[in-house]
């Protein structure tokens, strides 16, 4: 089926709507610029006076113009050295907002009996709070290393290795989606995946329904649903 506008600002390809929501058992979401309206790393960088430099790397990574996402994230995080926990708190309380329709879409998925997953190249300082606010079942994201000793409470400019690996990139998002499906005893084709950047493409490619939200061109072209105006809950226009 060709790519076509199903409704103003809502483009679909590869299926004929509506799809029954009951077909799906898991909904996986990216965080930055998907569930929330900022890129957290860029806003943290602003606290260090480095937003322009960091945001340029973020934009290139999200557009798929940087081949090594892990290296791009390490470069960005290195520029955050010296930012304080208080600065992170300020980003959370004054700059982070849910995107329109995010809470409604997650609630609709949960009401339909689906499990929910948050997979992010961002940081646990934010993903854990988003998880708790929305009642999300599973998460995977990165841990910012914090200085001890004289500089206690400041970022070191590094991330902490975790039991599953070092950095949650596109490959890790895909792996976590597949592992979560396996643990639930479902097929990846029973999952919905929602994202906006190139590092979401590996998990979008595995899901039964791939959704781009105000996404980069490469992601819009490949997703089965592209929400190009309005909120995340516009997905419910093609799901019943």
Q: Please name the helix (run of DSSP H) or strand (run of DSSP E) that holds residue 129, with its range, or none.
A: helix 124-134
Give whole-number Cα distances, 18 to 112, 155, 189, 238, in Å: 16, 47, 16, 5
Identify whether 30 is a catalytic site residue: yes
Q: Which residues contact 59 (CB under 8 A, 6 or more apart)?
A: none
Q: Is 170 helix (H, G, I), strand (E, B) or coil?
A: helix
Sign of CA dihedral 10, 173, 199, 207: negative
Considering the candidates 32, 42, 46, 169, report the single residue annotated as catalytic: 32
109 phi, psi to nearest 5 deg: -65, -45
Complete edge-to-edge strand list for the sheet that includes strand 4-7? 4-7, 10-12, 225-227, 209-213, 191-195, 26-29, 115-123, 138-146, 155-160
Tokens of 61: 């990574």
Unique residue bearing structure tokens 């490469």: 218
Tokens of 102: 């995010």
Q: How far is 56 from 48, CA to CA, in rounded Å?
A: 15
Identify whether 32 is a catalytic site residue: yes
Which positions are annotated as active-site residues? 30, 32
């Amino acid at each position: 089926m060709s790519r076509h506008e199903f409704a103003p600002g809502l483009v679909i390809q590869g299926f004929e709507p509506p799809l029954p929501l009951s077909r799906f058992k898991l909904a996986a979401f990216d965080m930055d610029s998907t569930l929330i309206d900022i890129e957290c790393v860029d806003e943290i960088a602003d606290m260090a006076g480095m937003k322009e430099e960091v945001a340029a790397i973020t934009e290139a990574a999200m557009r798929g113009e940087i081949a090594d996402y892990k290296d791009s994230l390490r470069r960005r995080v290195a520029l955050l050295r010296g930012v304080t926990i208080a600065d992170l708190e300020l980003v959370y309380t004054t700059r982070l907002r849910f995107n329109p329709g995010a809470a409604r879409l997650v609630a609709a998925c949960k009401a339909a009996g689906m499990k929910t997953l948050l997979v992010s190249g961002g940081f646990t300082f934010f993903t854990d709070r988003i998880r708790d606010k929305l009642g999300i079942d599973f998460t995977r994201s990165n841990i910012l290393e914090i200085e001890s000793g004289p500089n206690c409470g400041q970022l070191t400019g590094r991330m902490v290795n975790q039991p599953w690996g070092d950095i949650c990139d596109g490959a890790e998002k895909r792996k976590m989606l597949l592992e979560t499906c396996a643990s639930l005893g479902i097929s990846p084709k029973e999952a919905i995946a929602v994202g906006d950047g190139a590092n979401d493409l590996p998990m979008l490619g595995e899901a039964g329904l791939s959704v781009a939200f105000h996404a980069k061109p490469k992601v819009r072209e490949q997703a089965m649903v592209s929400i190009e105006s309005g909120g995340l809950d516009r997905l419910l226009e093609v799901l019943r």
